[in-house]
């Protein structure tokens, strides 16, 4: 069974593909469709409150025929944040939770959870701490609320959750740790909260399968023209699973996006005996 997760940075940019970067984004989405994942999670859809346009819906229907599709749109700011999940199997329940996060975080469309008979599959777009760490205090409150939320799910049945967590956990998870120690996504506070999430009973799938592997990243800054060329990246996109699923973790990979900078999709494969 195969799961894919991707911060797409605008569904519209992918579907319209009117720029060189849009063309690359569209190609990545086509590559994902060719993989035929059992569940696809997408973050940062940037959809308007009206949801998908007819053109966007038609494009997704063509790429992912027969999939069940679920949208969580930001009601706090138009065209901001947002998540989407597509599943071959219809879930028994769909949750768009509010977790008691500060400010507008609960209305920014950041979490979708699908419940299946044996497991929850969830996605998250974690708030960024922002320039000059203006949102760091709120981000820490989010991390505490989110950890409580997924722990509550885990108390009922195992959880597979993925997304852009906006944190590189250890120095091995980014190219330049020393110069980024006080940057959003690599502060001591954010890394400590991520450690607390793992300590609550969850596994970082990539690091579990590749304990010492360096140089594998999921995000390269667009602001730097050479970040992808030099592989000056960060690993900030994750699949996390309840630790009791460890024996069913078969493989994790980062899907190649060529010259496209920003986020790359990540893929989790489970063993043959795994069932939703």
Q: What is the rounded CA–CA span in Å between residue 97 and residue 108?
A: 11
Catalytic residue numbers read 125, 164, 263
Please state, as a whole number, how many other Cβ atoms lie within 10 Å of the Cβ of residue 189.
15
Handedness of CA 248, 245, 162, 263 (dihedral sign): negative
pLDDT number for residue 76: 87
Domains of the chain from N-terminus onward? 1-268 (3.60.10.10)
Structure tokens at 69: 């599709």
**pTM of the prediction?**
0.98
Q: Check the annotation: does 7 bind a ligand.
A: yes
Q: Check the annotation: does 181 bind a ligand.
A: no
Low-confidence ranges of the chain (pLDDT < 50): none
Q: Check the annotation: does 166 bind a ligand.
A: yes
pLDDT number for residue 131: 86
Helix (H) or strand (E) holding 20: helix 20-35
Q: Check the annotation: does 237 bind a ligand.
A: no
Nearest to 32 by CA among 64, 1, 68, 55: 64
Q: Check the annotation: does 262 bind a ligand.
A: yes
Nearest to 218 by CA among 266, 170, 178, 250: 266
């Amino acid at each position: 069974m195969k799961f894919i997760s991707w911060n797409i940075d605008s569904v519209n940019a992918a579907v319209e593909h009117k720029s060189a970067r849009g063309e690359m984004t569209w190609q990545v989405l086509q590559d994902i469709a060719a993989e035929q994942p059992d569940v696809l999670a997408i973050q940062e859809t940037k959809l308007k409150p009206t949801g998908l346009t007819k053109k966007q819906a038609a494009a997704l229907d063509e790429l992912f025929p027969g999939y069940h599709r679920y949208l969580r749109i930001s009601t706090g700011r138009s065209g901001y944040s947002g998540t989407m999940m597509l599943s071959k199997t219809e879930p028994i329940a769909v949750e768009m939770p509010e977790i008691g996060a500060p400010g507008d975080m609960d209305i920014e469309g950041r979490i979708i959870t699908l419940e299946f008979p044996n497991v929850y599959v969830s996605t998250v777009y974690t708030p960024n701490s922002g320039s000059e760490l203006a949102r760091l205090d709120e981000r820490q409150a989010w991390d505490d609320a989110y950890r409580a939320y997924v722990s509550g799910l885990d108390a009922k049945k195992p959880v597979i959750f993925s997304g852009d967590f906006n944190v590189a956990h250890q120095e091995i998870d980014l190219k330049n740790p020393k110069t980024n120690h006080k940057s959003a996504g690599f502060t001591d506070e954010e890394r400590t909260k991520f450690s607390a999430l793992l300590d609550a009973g969850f596994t970082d799938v990539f690091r579990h399968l590749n304990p010492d592997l360096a140089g594998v990243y999921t995000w390269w800054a667009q602001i730097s023209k050479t970040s992808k060329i030099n592989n000056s990246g960060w690993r900030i996109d994750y699949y996390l699973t309840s630790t009791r699923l460890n024996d069913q973790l078969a493989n994790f990979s980062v899907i190649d996006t060529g010259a496209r900078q920003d986020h790359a999709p990540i893929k989790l494969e489970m063993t043959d005996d795994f069932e939703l």
